[in-house]
């Protein structure tokens, strides 16, 4: 692929956007992200880190917008990126966005597809589409409110303003903040820890949390029970219970 690299470190996949100078998200980049996340569905991958440097992704390619508008067309990047983020969001394993520099517009939306977001202390995030006379089109209006709350998401989307790491942590967008030099190592280290965990159980928890959200309690409890039964029927469950009884560390194999 030309703009997206996928490298493996043990059971951790590092997906890196590489489209200088600011990793603008063209339709070609979005297509490659789809391919990269599909690669990450392989069972040998047990955790994923998504990043880009010096910027995570500074939004969509605005020149591409103009070309599309001048031709009377619709916005292709939004739908393609939406598909890529949905694949990322539903990966049956933990995912971390390591956010350097700018994560704006589609870049912010991409980060919201991950389970966790780590920000560099000089990073900026935001949904500035309103300043172009449009709105987020790859899940920003929906995922942002689920992460930081309805009212704060409304304020950020209405104003298009950028948020730094300190505020990002305070409003619940960021899970951790680190220096630019330490951020990726922190994300990879945490991902490596997730990769040694009970992968099927983690996937079941992820699915129960996502699928049960917003449902009436009785329906949500049924979702949880179905996910619990899946986790209970694994070799990792046997290992975890035996390790507890034998007072030793569990060694999960992800199955």
Which residues are designated catalytic? Answer: 109, 129
Which letter does DSSP use for residue 40 in this model?
A: T
Q: Give the whole-angstrom CA distance, residue 205 versus residue 203.
A: 5
Q: Give the whole-angstrom CA distance, residue 18 versus residue 113.
A: 19
Query: Phi/psi at 109 (nearest 5 deg)?
Result: -60, -40
- Indicate the pairing of strand 95-99 with strand 124-126: unpaired
Q: Which residues contact 213 (CB under 8 A, 6 or more apart)?
A: 146, 220
Tokens 């949390």 locate to 209
Q: Give the whole-angstrom CA distance, residue 202 versus residue 40.
A: 16
CB burial of 190-216 (b: ≥16 within 10 Å; e: otherwise) equals bbbebbbbbbbbbbbbbbbeebbeeee
Residue 165 CA, chain-centre distance (Å), reads 17
Largest CA distance in the chain: 69
């Amino acid at each position: 692929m030309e703009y997206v690299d996928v490298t493996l470190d043990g059971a951790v996949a590092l997906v890196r956007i590489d489209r200088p100078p600011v990793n603008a998200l063209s339709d070609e980049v979005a297509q490659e992200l789809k391919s990269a996340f599909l690669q990450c569905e392989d069972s040998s991958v047990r955790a994923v880190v998504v990043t880009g440097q010096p910027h995570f992704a500074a939004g969509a390619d605005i020149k591409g917008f103009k070309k599309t508008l001048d031709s009377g067309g619709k916005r292709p990047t939004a739908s393609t990126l939406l598909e890529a983020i949905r694949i990322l969001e539903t990966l049956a394993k933990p995912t971390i966005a390591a956010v350097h520099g700018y994560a704006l517009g589609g870049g912010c939306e991409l980060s919201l597809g991950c389970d966790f977001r780590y920000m560099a202390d000089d990073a900026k995030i935001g949904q500035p589409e309103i300043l172009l006379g449009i709105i987020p089109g790859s899940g920003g209006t929906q995922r942002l409110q689920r992460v930081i709350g309805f009212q704060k998401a409304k304020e950020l989307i209405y104003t298009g303003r950028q948020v730094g790491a300190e505020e990002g942590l305070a409003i619940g967008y960021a899970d951790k903040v680190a220096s630019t030099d330490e951020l990726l190592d922190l994300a990879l280290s945490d991902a490596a820890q997730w990769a040694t965990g009970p992968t099927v159980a983690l996937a079941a928890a992820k699915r129960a949390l996502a699928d049960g959200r917003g449902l009436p309690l009785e329906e949500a409890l049924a979702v949880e029970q179905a996910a619990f039964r899946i986790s209970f029927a694994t070799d990792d469950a046997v290992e975890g219970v035996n390790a507890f009884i034998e007072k030793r560390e569990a060694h999960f194999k992800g199955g």
